[in-house]
Amino acid sequence: MMAAIAVTRFGLGARPGEIDAAKVDPQGFLIGQIRREGADIPQDGGDTSAQRFEQMRQYQQQRKMEREQKDGQADKTAANIQTFKDSQRELRDKVNADFLARARLGANTPAGFRERWALFWANHFTVSATKQITSVLIGPFEREAIRPYVFNSFENLLVASSTHPAMLTYLDQAQSVGPNSQVAFNAARRGGKSKVGLNENLAREIMELHTVGVDAGYTQADVTEFARALTGFSIGRDNEERAGQFVFRVNAHEPGGRTIMGRHYGQSDVAQGLAVLKDLAADPRTARHVCGQIARHFVSDTPPPSLTTRLERRWMETGGDLALVAKTLVESPEAWDPTPAKFKTPYEYALSTWRLIGAEPSAIERIAPILTGLGQKPFSAPSPKGWPEDAQTWASPDGLIKRMQWAQGFAATAADRTDPNALAVQALGDRLTPPVAKAVSRAETRKEAFALLVMSPEFQRR
């Protein structure tokens, strides 16, 4: 039973032979996947954020030209419009390629737990395709700011995420300017028409979602002060040395020391924001908030308090060492309750279906439509809070119908040669229950058997 739990609850579902491989030492099978250098990097084009920024800038220029042509302010040449459309398609293809590469990694990796751990953190530090500029940076964000740090210290992960161009654009930090900064002063002198000032979006979400949590007792004044501390966190412009990368603009930074959640920060430059991040990372309320989320993600929508407490204690003992927290999760007896409590999200569900037959999505068109139909459109989490994790959200009447329709289609292409009874054992191991085994064995066709298996309560839960 523990091998089946290791592979399905902690991992992404069984690939052929995976449960057998985990049998000797299920906990060791998972602990062996934890590594200092971080999670795997999806194999796509490998563009950096800076490169994507440059491509986006070119696209925007072409779009501007095209608009001017439409308005009759320039010669209308078909060639220019073509270039604009090509760049648009190219950018879209890149975002699709980022997502497909990640899905393929998830379908193929023998280290399912490592990948799940990375996906948890990518969702914790959500950046979503609500803005075009952010959409092209999500792939690079995960590669550059999340995956290398998921078994590092939480502080390093928090700083990497909070200074990445994807986050700085998604939560509007890049343009936030201190009201008494040099930049604001210059703007006012120029005539006051240009809009410069504070934007508190990132500051609020770091406190509420990424670190201490909404019930930590901070006030609106704390949020505003933190937003002032973060002014200057921005992205290099085209003509600057660090184009498309994090820069600190001292001219945009709000001068002076400030007090946030009772602590004074007297620094006068980038050190001020970083010092706040360091304190937030070390705060026991952050440990409690984030460990609760880890327990909810892996174990149950309502995890046993003893589990959360154990993770929290380990977090505080180790200064937020995420590799050791991951190990503690695996070693916690509460995490091995044989009753599966979690309902797979659409992404987890789709990946586990490919893993079942030892395959991967061959094109974005194979995976994007079903995720969108189930309410989990690729790279488009509905808010900075990320995707919901609870069964109530995903086990909706409409969601189940759409899963069934998809399972029928998937079965038509996947179930031609395999023995359904063997597949059921391979998928669920000791978690296979007699009713499901019976339903699969009594099916009229291989196709029907396959659809029943992947729609069974046992396969949809973990």
Partner 1 sequence: MTAQINRRSLLSLGVGLGISVNFLGSQAFAASEGGLARKKLVVIICRGGMDGLSVSPPVGDPDYARLRGSIAMRRDEVLMLDDTFGLHPELQAVHALALKGEARIAPAIASPDRARSHFEAQDVLETGAAHVYGTETGWLNRTLESLAPIRRVEGLSVGSTAPLILRGKVQAASWSPGKLVDETARLPTLLQDLYKNDPMLGPAFARGLETEAMAQTAMTAMAASPAMNMAAASTPSMTPPGTPPGTPQMTMASQATAGDKQNKAGGDAARKLGATLGGFMIQAGGPQIAAVSLDGFDTHAGQPGQIATRLSYVDAVLDGLHQGLGPEWKNTLVIAVTEFGRTARVNGTGGTDHGTASTGLVLGGALKRGGIIGDWPTLSEKALFENRDTAPTLDMRGLFKGALADHMGVDRAILDSKVFPDSAGVRPLTGLV
User: Interaction with partner 1 in 441-460: which residues (CB under 8 A)?
Assistant: 443-444, 448, 451-452, 455-457, 460
| 204 sits near partner 1 (criterion: CB under 8 A) | yes
Assess contact for 433 and 401: CB atoms under 8 A: no
96 binds partner 1 (CB under 8 A): yes
Within 13 Å and on the Cβ side, how many CA atoms surround 25?
Answer: 7
Q: Which stretch binds partner 1 (CB under 8 A): 206-214, 272-280, 354-362, 415-423?
A: 206-214
Q: Which residues between 239 and 278 bind partner 1 (CB under 8 A)?
A: none
Is residue 338 at the binding interface for partner 1, with CB under 8 A as the rule?
Answer: no
Answer for which of 175, 245, 267, 418 binds partner 1 (CB under 8 A) is 175
Cβ-based nearer residue to partner 1, 81 or 439? 439
Cβ-Cβ contacts under 8 Å for 24 (sequence gap 6 or more)? none
Tokens of residue 341, six digits: 């409590």
Is residue 395 near partner 1 by the rule CB under 8 A? yes
Closest CB 181 distance from partner 1, rounded Å:
10
> What minimum distance in Å lies between the beta carbon of 441 and partner 1?
12
Angle at 210 between CA 251 and CA 252, to 5 degrees: 5
Minimum distance between the CB of residue 314 and partner 1, rounded to whole angstroms? 26
* CA–centroid distance for 395 within its chain: 21
Rule CB under 8 A: choose which of 196, 299, 329, 330 binds partner 1: 196
Residue 259 is classified by DSSP as E
The DSSP letter of residue 103 is: H
- Among residues 356, 380, 386, the alpha carbon closest in space to that of 368 is found at 380
The answer to whether residue 180 forms part of the interface with partner 1 (CB under 8 A) is no
- In the window 350-389, what residues touch partner 1 (CB under 8 A)? 364-365, 368-369, 372-375, 377-385, 388
Closest by CA to 433, choosing from 457, 450, 451, 407, is: 457
Contact call for residue 308 and partner 1 (CB under 8 A): no
Query: Which of 62, 128, 162, 286 touches partner 1 (CB under 8 A)?
Result: 128
> Among 48, 199, 267, 418, which residue interacts with partner 1 (rule: CB under 8 A)?
199
- Of the candidate spans 36-44, 74-82, 347-355, 390-398, the one that interacts with partner 1 by CB under 8 A turns out to be 390-398
Does residue 80 belong to the site contacting partner 1 (CB under 8 A)? no
Q: What is the 3-state secondary structure (H, E, C) of 363-421?
A: CHHHHHHHHHHCCCCCCCCCCCCCCCCCHHHHCCHHHHHHHHHHHHHHHHHHCCCCCHH
Residues 405-434 that bind partner 1 (CB under 8 A): 405, 408
Query: What does the alpha-carbon distance between residue 208 and residue 364 come to, in Å, rounded to a whole number?
Result: 34
Q: Which of 441, 444, 439, 445 is nearest to 458 (CA)?
A: 439
Applying CB under 8 A, the span of 39-47, 126-134, 149-157, 264-272 interacting with partner 1 comes to 126-134
